[in-house]
Amino acid sequence: MKDEIVRSCVDCGSTRCDEESGTYPHFCLSQHMAEGEKEALIAAYGDEENYKIMLNAAQIEYEGYCKLCRVEETMEFARRMGYKKIGIATCLGLIREARILTKVLRANGFEVFGVGCKAGEIRKTAVGIPAECENLGEHICNPIYQAKMLAEAKCELNIVVGLCVGHDSLFYKYAQGVTTTLVVKDRVTGNNPAAALYNAEGYYRRKLFPQKGQE
């Protein structure tokens, strides 16, 4: 079974993809690019908006490395991109955090428009979700509407705050314009999904490797 795995960067683990870091693995994705692919990618980064995003992201990383927190980085990105109007797509379970973020953004001169996940008040059964799911709340999370409302409000940067797995997928699918994620929801770890990975060989071992209890 293991021989059938298609190897990729996750099987390499290099943090520096260059010759100085040692021998490339035989499956190295850098070494097996299709002809002309690198040039096509460089051209894509030459698109005016893409270039601006890449340049600002790189400079913020360089100048703020281990100094700016993610909230600060997000605001700095918005400033450098020239964005004035920020849209927030929030889970209502994190409305408190979204409201604090709104205060912070407004205190820093941004205009903010936010849409909570239950906006639209559509019953779960109305979209074919089994009635039993309404025991956890009768309305769907409504990421398509969130994306639509932020677009209609002409938000220049969308910030995702704690949308559920899958709901976030639909938001990203329908979002117009530039989107970034500030908070990733995890109801078990205090919105820190990496905590489960840090414990994957410890307390979370049996939960995450159910077949063997080890890997």
CA–CA dist 123, 120 (Å, integer):
9
* In the complex, least distance from residue 27 CB atom to ligand SF4, rounded to whole angstroms: 6
* In the complex, least distance from residue 14 CB atom to ligand SF4, rounded to whole angstroms: 4
**Residue number, 24 or 204, with CB nearest to ligand SF4:** 24
Helix (H) / strand (E) element for 64: namely helix 48-64
CA distances from 157 to 26, 96, 208 (A): 40, 20, 35
* In the complex, least distance from residue 54 CB atom to ligand SF4, rounded to whole angstroms: 19
In the complex, the residues that contact ligand SF4 under the rule CB under 6 A are 9, 12, 14, 17, 24-25, 28-30
Cβ atoms of 73 and 64 closer than 8 Å: yes
Helix (H) / strand (E) element for 115: namely strand 111-116
* In the complex, least distance from residue 154 CB atom to ligand SF4, rounded to whole angstroms: 39
Block residue for tokens 């074919």: 128
**Residue number, 25 or 120, with CB nearest to ligand SF4:** 25
The burial class, CB within 10 Å (0-12 / 13-18 / 19+), for 213 is: exposed
**Residue number, 34 or 69, with CB nearest to ligand SF4:** 34
* In the complex, least distance from residue 139 CB atom to ligand SF4, rounded to whole angstroms: 43
In the chain, count of helices (H) and strands (E)?
A: 9, 4
**Residue number, 12 or 184, with CB nearest to ligand SF4:** 12
**Residue number, 40 or 129, with CB nearest to ligand SF4:** 40
